[in-house]
Amino acid sequence: MDREVDLSTFLNERCRFYQFKKGFRFGTDTFLLTDFLRLKGKEKLIDLGTGCGIIPILLLLKHPELKAVGVDILEENVEIALKNAEINGVLERFTAVKLNVKDIKKRFKPTSFDVVVSNPPFIELGKGSVSENRLRAYARQEIAANLEDFIKAAQYLLKNKGKFYLLLPVYRFVDTVSLLREKNLEPKRLRFIYPCPGREANLFLLESVKGGGKGISVEPPLTVYRDCHTREYTEEVDRKYSSFLP
């Protein structure tokens, strides 16, 4: 059954997460997005397409005064995100809401968040077969909402000078920058992710600021594996995993 779950430990057993065995399962890219965020620690944060709640829950564990909301269109994901918040001891600072990002105005007031983060679906409809697994399909394909819908939601939710963080495949980079600037979300920090030395970048991390001025910082390349055969993490990625939680 698609709703069968298992429990995995993470970050040297410092936290635990239930995930659907046959659904979308978080990986290194999701963690790297979480690590990319620059927070003071007292912000109000919302994760659009939260899945099992991995991003906000890790950030709540790192920042004891942070408050976070996770939004997801699937009731199964909302339930498991709340369960994960409970077993990790952050439920009192976390809310999960079943909602399509297209309908964000029905639930939230404008300019009510300091930070928006998202690892949104990225495969445009008609450009690839839709997964037979419902949970995977909604996580990867723009079935219920597209990239522009996620960016519109972020623009609506963010306070002026609030930050929007995204992780997407490189082939959506030009689309992303174009849509962000249309919505007054100015790209400010960019980092490309490479799977291993000698390969092209496959993902990018991007921080945008609502109402920000022109000018962007392009950070050094982030390489995940020492080589693509052994799949051993680079020193930088190892260091990120070991030092993320205080």
What CATH number should be reported for the domain holding residue 236?
Answer: 3.40.50.150
Closest CA to 39 of 59, 57, 25: 59
d(CA 107, CA 104): 6
Cα–Cα nearest to 157, from 187, 117, 121 = 117
Q: Where are the alpha helices (H) located in the chain, listed in sequence order?
A: 28-36, 54-62, 75-87, 134-140, 147-157, 173-182, 235-243
- At residue 69, the pLDDT reads 98
Residue 143 predicted with pLDDT over 50: yes
Domain of residue 231 covers: 5-243
147 close to 179: Cβ distance less than 8 angstroms: yes
Higher per-residue confidence, 184 vs 5: 184
- pLDDT grade for 126, boundaries at 50, 70 and 90: low
The predicted model gives 127-154 an average pLDDT of 70
What is the pLDDT at residue 228? 86
Confidence of residue 23 (pLDDT cuts 50, 70, 90): confident
pLDDT (average), residues 77-98: 97
pTM over cut 0.85: yes
In the block, residue with structure tokens 């994760």:
47
Q: Are strands 5-10 and 15-20 parallel, antiparallel or unpaired?
A: antiparallel
Q: What percent of the chain has pLDDT over 70?
A: 90
* pLDDT over threshold 60, residue 123: no
Number of domains in the chain: 1
Least confident of 5-9, 50-54, 133-137, 198-202: 133-137
Tell me the residue type at 39. L
